[in-house]
Amino acid sequence: MAVIKSPALHLLYMVATVVVMVAADLQQFKHPVKAGGSLSFLVIGDWGRRGLYNQSNVAYQMGKVGDQMDVDFIVSTGDNFYDSGLVDEDDPAFFDSFTNVYTAPSLQKQWYSVLGNHDYRGNALAQLSPELRQRDNRWHCMRSFILHAGNADFFFVDTTPFHEKYFTEEDQEYDWRGVLPREDYLSQLLKDVDVALKDSSAKWKIVVGHHTIHSAGVHGNTQELVDKLLPILLENEVILYINGHDHCLEHISSSNSQLQFLTSGGGSKAWRGDINPWNLDEMKFYYDGQGFMAGEITENDLVVSFYDVFGNVLHKWSGSGNMRSAC
Ligand SMILES: *[C@@H]1O[C@H](CO)[C@@H](O)[C@H](O)[C@H]1NC(C)=O
């Protein structure tokens, strides 16, 4: 992994007084891909429960599939540590729920993570702290950032602050340090994501966030994201929106665009049992149990697969036939 220093960032170092104007640029990283340009990765969400609720079994199968696919990195869609994120950088949950659970050799790769709402209930800054990387150098958690990997660009978006409810509910506390004033934070973030998507020349544009845009699960759609983020994804020909939040595995397609909505939130506690009705033309797959997702990207193809806790492939989808640029 290498940090790309954008010109704006250099400017930041040189002219401290313009920090406010340029600091908002999303940080960019580059992950090397395999010789030949292909890339494979796993996606896990809603997981940190000290191995309980099948977290360890999911981890075991991730290790096996990760080995077979020779994965390049892991993506975490957030809700990394239950119930309330980390207390601080020394919280033993970091080892109990991460380091000592995902022990397979194939999983000793970079983990690119965003924060979920449960992470914001604890010390959000602790998860973002570079100190954690010294404890386990796989850990790479940021609010919003860009990852370039071969012909794919991943845009990680901090979705928790979009959710109005978290700012009004009275029985929960959230760590909003660095997020307030909220309206400024959100408008800057949306602008940054839009600009970054427009700047991207990658064949495959993939956006990752914790919250659902479309889901038939218990949380359902996140209206704020439908209203504010979805139009930007559609305008910029994003192929995948990947999230967690609903504790299930799910694939919803769009009837009017190439965008696919993928939920990988089966990292530990699942089996909520309730699924809301959805248009059957769009609903490609829904599984209310534990598991994870895998992605494989080659020059002309993008394949996603969902695995259960036994390592069975439950659903597979290929994006090659759907690409506009392939026409
Ligand atoms: C663990 O996974 C199995 C197989 O899917 C399931 O039957 C069981 O209920 C799960 N256990 C928990 C605690 O979720």
The per-residue pLDDT for range 127-147, each reduced to its tens digit, is: 999 999 999 999 999 999 999
Q: Is 313:58 a contact under the CB 8 Å cutoff?
A: no
What per-residue confidence (pLDDT) applies to 274? 85
Quickly state the pLDDT bin for 22 (edges 50, 70, 90): very low
**Smallest CA separation from ligand 1 atom 4, residue:** 309
pLDDT at 10 over 90: no
pLDDT in tens, 69-115: 999 999 999 999 999 999 999 999 999 999 999 999 999 999 999 99
pLDDT in tens, 235-251: 999 999 999 999 999 99
Q: Let me know if residue 85 belongs to a domain.
A: yes
Task: Decide whether any atom of ligand 1 lies within 6 Å of the 289 Cβ.
Answer: yes
Q: Give the contacts of 193 (CB within 8 A, at least 6 positions apart).
A: 26, 144, 155, 157, 207, 229, 232
pLDDT in tens, 162-189: 999 999 999 999 999 999 999 999 999 9
Q: How far is the CA of 288 from the centre of ligand 1 (A)?
A: 11
Quickly state the pLDDT bin for 25 (edges 50, 70, 90): confident
- Token representation of residue 320: 């090659």
Q: Let me know if residue 258 belongs to a domain.
A: yes
What per-residue confidence (pLDDT) applies to 6? 52
The backbone torsions φ and ψ at residue 288, rounded to the nearest 5 degrees and listed phi first, read -90, 25
Counting ligand 1 atoms within 8 A of each CB, the residue from 46, 290, 308 with the most, and so the one to mutate, is 290
Its domain, for residue 148, covers 24-321
pLDDT in tens, 37-53: 999 999 999 999 999 99
Q: Check 214, 219, 245, 247 and give the catalytic one.
A: 219
Q: Let me know if residue 31 belongs to a domain.
A: yes
pLDDT in tens, 187-239: 999 999 999 999 999 999 999 999 999 999 999 999 999 999 999 999 999 99
Q: Let me know if residue 175 belongs to a domain.
A: yes
Q: Is 59:102 a contact under the CB 8 Å cutoff?
A: yes
Q: In what order do the strands lie in the sheet with 2-4?
A: 2-4, 27-30, 145-149, 152-157, 204-209, 240-243, 260-264, 249-252, 283-287
Q: Let me know if residue 6 belongs to a domain.
A: no
Q: Let me know if residue 312 belongs to a domain.
A: yes
pLDDT at 5 over 80: no
Q: Give the contacts of 223 (CB within 8 A, at least 6 positions apart).
A: none
Rounded distance between C-alpha atoms, residue 70 and residue 42, angstroms: 10
- Give the number of domains in the chain: 1
Which residues lie across from 307 on neighbouring strands? 292, 313
Q: How far is the CA of 54 from the centre of ligand 1 (A)?
A: 6
Q: Is 150:33 a contact under the CB 8 Å cutoff?
A: yes
- Token representation of residue 279: 């248009």
Q: How far is the CA of 220 from the centre of ligand 1 (A)?
A: 23
pLDDT in tens, 261-295: 999 999 999 998 889 999 999 999 999 999 999 99
Q: How far is the CA of 193 from the centre of ligand 1 (A)?
A: 38
Nearest CA-CA partner of 101 in 137, 63, 66, 153: 63
Residues recorded for the chain: 327
pLDDT at 3 over 70: no
Q: Let me know if residue 9 belongs to a domain.
A: no
Quickly state the pLDDT bin for 312 (edges 50, 70, 90): very high
The domain that holds 193 is classified in CATH as: 3.60.21.10
What per-residue confidence (pLDDT) applies to 17? 38
**Residue for token pair 């009017």:** 256
pLDDT at 8 over 60: no
pLDDT at 325 over 90: no
Q: Are strands 139-141 and 73-76 parallel, antiparallel or unpaired?
A: unpaired
Q: Let me know if residue 173 belongs to a domain.
A: yes
Q: Is 172:121 a contact under the CB 8 Å cutoff?
A: yes
What per-residue confidence (pLDDT) applies to 295? 98
**Smallest CA separation from ligand 1 atom 7, residue:** 289
